[in-house]
């Protein structure tokens, strides 16, 4: 009964946030996000304790196996970063230290729009566009909205960033159109193919280069350029945890 009351209360707050004007929405959104964030923290804590109680041994074994893999990946990454920065130093260039931060997706921004999410991240620059990652894959961007950080997933029309297609690094601009994910403005003389991988180019200072996004499933010939349809590696469901790129 208490859970039903809480869900009913949250539904009312979300409905109000949709109906409010832009001036009032900033405060309503902030309160909604605060309540949802606390609710998710409690829920995650309860789930964690239940898992520890009923399957503690199994979880420990799994975590140990994953930890070994992560340790190996971390060592390889450190070695690679060291070599890279040695090369940069030899060429009088500054060291490369990209930064990421784990944050939580709180809820959808609107009940009828699954491409926009509110993010629990307070220390952000309002003028900056952030890249979003989930399990190492690119899933969209984040921007300021009503003094809070809003995530725009790949199918959102305002989720736009530069990419490369295939081994030849064919340049293009990835943009959603609600139903599909497109790579636009591919030069007419270049030949993207079905199955080519799409990665971030790093040319727009949103992502660093090489973040995998998806694969080409269709190429459309247009008058002055080509457009490719992308099948993403990740279809994100919220609420969940993801990473935000804090430093290029």
The string of DSSP codes covering 124-180 is --TT--EEEEETTEEEEEEEEETTEEEEEETTSTT-EEEEEETTTTEEEEEEE-SS-
Q: pLDDT value at position 223?
A: 87
Q: Among 67, 97, 127, which residue terminates a domain? A: 97
- Is the domain of 20 the same as that of 75? yes
- Is the domain of 1 the same as that of 53? yes
Burial class (CB in 10 A: 0-12, 13-18, 19+), 180: middle
Backbone CA torsion sign across 101, 246, 149, 180: negative
- Is the domain of 187 the same as that of 233? yes
- Is the domain of 119 the same as that of 241? yes
- Is the domain of 117 the same as that of 199? yes
- Is the domain of 49 the same as that of 64? yes
Q: Among 61, 78, 97, which residue terminates a domain? A: 97
Phi and psi angles of residue 46, each rounded to the nearest 5 degrees, phi first = -65, -45
- Is the domain of 36 the same as that of 157? no
Tell me which residue range forms the domain holding 246. 98-248
Give the whole-angstrom CA distance, residue 238 versus residue 236: 7
Backbone CA torsion sign across 197, 200, 209, 121: negative
In the chain, the number of structural domains is 2
**Contact assessment for residue 248 and residue 205, using Cβ atoms and an 8 Å cutoff:** yes
CA distances from 175 to 5, 205, 222 (A): 40, 16, 16
- Is the domain of 22 the same as that of 104? no
Q: pLDDT value at position 214?
A: 97
- Is the domain of 198 the same as that of 165? yes
Q: pLDDT value at position 40?
A: 63
SS3 content of the chain, % helix, strand, coil (to 5): 35, 35, 30
- Is the domain of 220 the same as that of 102? yes
Q: What angle do CA 214, 219, 222 make, to 5 degrees?
A: 130
Neighbours of 183 (CB within 10 A): 27
Q: pLDDT value at position 54?
A: 58
Q: pLDDT value at position 87?
A: 74
CATH number at residue 136: 2.40.10.350
Q: pLDDT value at position 15?
A: 56
- Is the domain of 110 the same as that of 143? yes
CA proximity to 128, closest of 64, 206, 70? 206
- Is the domain of 92 the same as that of 149? no
pLDDT tens sequence for the chain (248 residues):
555 555 555 555 555 555 555 545 555 555 556 556 666 666 666 666 666 555 666 766 777 777 666 666 655 665 656 666 677 677 776 666 668 889 999 888 887 888 999 999 988 999 999 999 998 899 999 999 989 999 999 999 999 999 999 999 999 999 999 889 999 999 999 999 999 999 999 899 899 888 999 999 999 999 899 999 999 999 877 768 899 998 75
Give the whole-angstrom CA distance, residue 95 versus residue 81: 9
In total, the chain counts a number of residues equal to 248
Q: Among 70, 97, 124, which residue terminates a domain? A: 97
Burial class (CB in 10 A: 0-12, 13-18, 19+), 66: exposed
């Amino acid at each position: 009964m208490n859970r039903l009351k809480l869900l009913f209360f949250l539904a009312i707050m979300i409905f109000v946030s949709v109906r409010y004007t832009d001036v009032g929405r900033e405060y309503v959104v902030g309160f909604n996000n605060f309540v949802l964030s606390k609710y998710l923290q409690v829920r995650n804590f309860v789930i964690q304790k239940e898992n520890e109680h009923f399957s503690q041994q199994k979880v420990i074994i799994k975590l140990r196996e994953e930890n070994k893999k992560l340790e190996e990946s971390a060592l390889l990454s450190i070695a690679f970063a060291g070599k890279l920065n040695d090369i940069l130093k030899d060429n009088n260039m500054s060291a490369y230290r990209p930064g990421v931060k784990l944050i939580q997706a709180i809820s959808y921004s609107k009940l009828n729009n699954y491409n926009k999410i509110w993010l629990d991240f307070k220390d952000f620059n309002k003028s900056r566009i952030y890249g979003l990652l989930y399990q190492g894959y690119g899933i969209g961007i984040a921007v300021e909205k009503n003094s809070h950080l809003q995530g725009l997933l790949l199918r959102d029309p305002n989720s736009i960033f530069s990419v490369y297609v295939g081994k030849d690094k064919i340049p293009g601009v990835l943009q959603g159109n609600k139903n599909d994910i497109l790579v636009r403005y591919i030069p007419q003389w270049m030949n993207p193919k079905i199955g080519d991988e799409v990665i971030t180019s790093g040319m727009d200072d949103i992502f660093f280069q090489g973040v995998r996004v998806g694969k080409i499933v269709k190429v459309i010939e247009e008058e002055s350029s080509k457009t490719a349809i992308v099948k993403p590696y990740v279809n994100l469901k919220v609420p969940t945890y993801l990473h935000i790129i804090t430093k290029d």
